[in-house]
Amino acid sequence: MSTGYGAPYVAEPQRPGWPARLGPLIVPAGTVRLRPLRLRDGGEWSRIRLRDHAYLERWEPTQPGSWRERNAVAAWPSQWATLRRLAKRGQCFPFAITVDDVFAGQLTIGNVIRAALRSAWIGYWVSSELAGGGVATAAVALATDHAFTEGRLHRLEATVRPENVASLRVLGKAGYRREGLFRRYLEVQGEWRDHLCYALTAEETGDGVVALLVASGGASMPEQR
Ligand SMILES: CC(C)(COP(=O)(O)OP(=O)(O)OC[C@H]1O[C@@H](n2cnc3c(N)ncnc32)[C@H](O)[C@@H]1OP(=O)(O)O)[C@@H](O)C(=O)NCCC(=O)NCCS
């Protein structure tokens, strides 16, 4: 039995890799960048999430209150402040995804644990208007490379419902490996749902996930155009 991870829950005095601005990376939908979430993202965040209720809710954890209440503009300041507080403690990297400099979704690296574990989960959503345009894959590639370099993490994990074909494809394109099935793992729409676990460790990424994506033709750098 392990003796533990070396006090992994003790907040470190520094927060390597945060704040950060990542990109640009060009994909069919436009130019993708990641930057810290802002208080003034609330209007676009709410507009997209209220419109995309059906598109998003079946993959997101159950939370108290109705979708309309939780995703109203008025709900944003407290969500933003919570994420900002966690980021300041080094426990989370809360990114906005932008396409052509317009807010288009979120990518969060959360539950950052350091010491001898140096691990976190990665989660994301993208506006349905941009579906299939390569945005999520570019965002995951940028964030993964950052987490393993400036962020000094060693392992990232993503858990996905087996029915979420688009997200499974994103992880596959970004080089994540399937590790197993977590049974009745997360409460989604009021039921405990199975999730597939995908993961990637720093030494598996070679020259980086962005380089892999660019080499496969899934994205390009501005200077390559
Ligand atoms: C999952 C999600 C982030 C993907 O965003 P995106 O910007 O459309 O992703 P990309 O364009 O980078 O890649 C999507 C891939 O899935 C494929 N895809 C999408 N729907 C599909 C379907 N029903 N069947 C097969 N492939 C599908 C796309 O064709 C694309 O693959 P390709 O490049 O080989 O053609 C977006 O659908 C979303 O926000 N969903 C709701 C929230 C969510 O599921 N978050 C993840 C939770 S684990």
Q: What is the pLDDT of residue 1?
A: 47
Please name which of 120, 210, 112, 105 lies closest in space to residue 167, comparing C-alpha atoms: 105
| Rounded mean pLDDT for each run of 10 residues along the chain, 225 residues in total | 58 82 98 98 98 96 93 98 96 98 98 94 98 98 98 98 98 97 95 97 96 96 74
Q: What is the pLDDT of residue 112?
A: 97
Q: How far is the CA of 150 from the centre of ligand 1 (A)?
A: 27
| Residue 61: Cβ within 10 Å count | 10
On whether the CB atoms of residues 129 and 97 are closer than 8 A, the answer is no
Q: What residue owns the CA closest to ligand 1's atom 29?
A: 132
Could you tell me if the CB of 126 is within 6 A of ligand 1? yes
Q: Top-level CATH class of 22-224?
A: alpha beta
Spell out a b/e string for 170-204, using b for 16 or more CB atoms within 10 Å of the CB, else e.
bbebbbbeeeeeeeeebebeeeebebbbbbbebee
Q: Which of 67, 142, 159, 169 to mutate to test the pocket of ligand 1 (most atoms within 8 A of CB)?
A: 169
Domain boundaries along the sequence of the chain:
22-224
Q: What is the pLDDT of residue 9?
A: 57
Please name which of 85, 50, 56 lies closest in space to residue 70, comparing C-alpha atoms: 50
Angstrom CA distances, 47 to 96, 107, 125, 134, stand at 15, 17, 14, 22
Q: Which of 56, 126, 188 to mutate to test the pocket of ligand 1 (most atoms within 8 A of CB)?
A: 126
Q: Which amino acid is at 19?
A: P
184: left (phi over 0), alpha (psi -120 to 50) or beta: left
Spatial separation of the C-alpha atoms in residues 150 and 170, rounded to whole Å = 23
Q: What residue owns the CA closest to ligand 1's atom 45?
A: 125
Could you tell me if the CB of 108 is within 6 A of ligand 1? no
Q: What residue owns the CA closest to ligand 1's atom 40?
A: 125
Atom number in ligand 1 closest to CA 125: 39
Give CA angle at 64 (61, 66), nearest 5°. 95
Question: What pTM was computed for the model?
Answer: 0.95
Please name which of 164, 35, 197 lies closest in space to residue 104, comparing C-alpha atoms: 35
Could you tell me if the CB of 164 is within 6 A of ligand 1? yes
Spatial separation of the C-alpha atoms in residues 102 and 31, rounded to whole Å = 10
Q: Which of 95, 159, 160, 170 to mutate to test the pocket of ligand 1 (most atoms within 8 A of CB)?
A: 170
